Amino acid sequence: MCFRGPWMRLVPVVLLFGVTLVWSQDPPSSTEGPCAGTTVVSVPSRPTVTSATDTTQCGVAELEYGLERQWPGGGANRDDLSGGLRFGLTPNLDFHWSSSDFLHVMNGDGNRTGFGDTWLGLRYRFLGQTKHRPALGLFYTTKVPTASVALGLGSGRVDYAISFLASKDVHRFHFDFNVIELLAGRPSGLGLDHDTGFALASWLPVGKRLSVVVEPYGYTLLNQSSPAFASAMAGCNYKVTPRLYLDTGLDLGITHSAPHKRVYVGVTYALANLYSWMRPN
């Protein structure tokens, strides 16, 4: 598969047209329906790499942050405090903003600390789950290169990713499956590198508040500096209240080229339903 820069410049235009079409067909209501509900709940997506088809509650702004340490191998380590906001535009469409607010890398080139890259995205569920069919969706994201190239914290190039999402409940288990197509800008500025990611998260509730999850995932070859790899994650999230979730997890590399280990903790909190503020008194 071959993608070129000029074609990719059309993606945001097509995406904007699609969002406009979705909005016109499924507009948020400030006076009635699910978008104006007074009950605010969180729809956490952490701690998995896999994205579910479940979108952020319509009208709700949701805060999501996590702290992780990664050991890529060779004595190197990486610390990352990252997160952002999600907002439910409609019952089936949400907006994502995330960034690495603090990034520290220690390897053979020394210690560097700075701000990481920023990602903007839209997730749309176009088909709901039935007894015999999974829910289906798409998730488009664009990287804004805000990380320092001089410090080796980022490539300085715009990347694009589009993911196909599928989710299904089977008895007590919940499954999320993604196929992720990543288009990464080359440091030379000429053309794009391409790889494909696969991720499968399996969730099992343990009691009323705790859920455990296991997740194998991996990517194909992107370029000479980013070979194919496979990893596996085990983690859990805990519902403190319907608006507040805590999570933790551990990644272990399966293949030689995968990061050796990653541990992380995080929090998800539903702030408020902004559409409800527009309701008439």
Q: End-to-end CA distance of the chain, in Å?
A: 55
**What DSSP state is assigned to residue 54?**
P
How many Cβ atoms are within 10 Å of 233's Cβ, its own excluded?
21
In whole angstroms, give the CA distance from residue 84 to residue 98.
4
Pairing of strands 244-253, 261-273: antiparallel
Determine phi and psi for 220, rounding to 5 degrees. Answer: -80, 180
The pLDDT of residue 277: 75
State pTM to two decimals: 0.85
- Residues (pLDDT < 50) of the chain are 1-14, 16-17, 20, 23-25, 29-31
CATH number of domain containing 66: 2.40.160.40
> What range defines the domain where residue 232 resides?
5-278
The pLDDT of residue 223: 87
**Alpha carbon 200 to chain centroid, angstroms:** 14
The pLDDT of residue 152: 87
Arithmetic mean of pLDDT over the chain: 88
Do you know the residue count of the chain? 281
Q: Does residue 163 contact residue 177 with C-beta atoms inside 8 Å?
A: no
CA dihedral 140, 77, 188, 228 (to 10 degrees): -60
The pLDDT of residue 28: 55
**What DSSP state is assigned to residue 226?**
B
Three-state secondary structure call for residue 164: strand
User: Domain count of the chain?
Assistant: 1
What are the structure tokens assigned to 67, written together? 């702290």
| 9 contacts: CB under 8 Å, gap ≥ 6 | none
The pLDDT of residue 187: 74
Q: Does residue 122 contact residue 139 with C-beta atoms inside 8 Å?
A: yes
The pLDDT of residue 252: 96
Rg (CA), the chain: 19
Three-state secondary structure call for residue 86: strand
Q: Does residue 82 contact residue 264 with C-beta atoms inside 8 Å?
A: no
Q: Does residue 122 contact residue 96 with C-beta atoms inside 8 Å?
A: yes
What are the structure tokens assigned to 138, written together? 């798409």
Q: Does residue 219 contact residue 244 with C-beta atoms inside 8 Å?
A: no
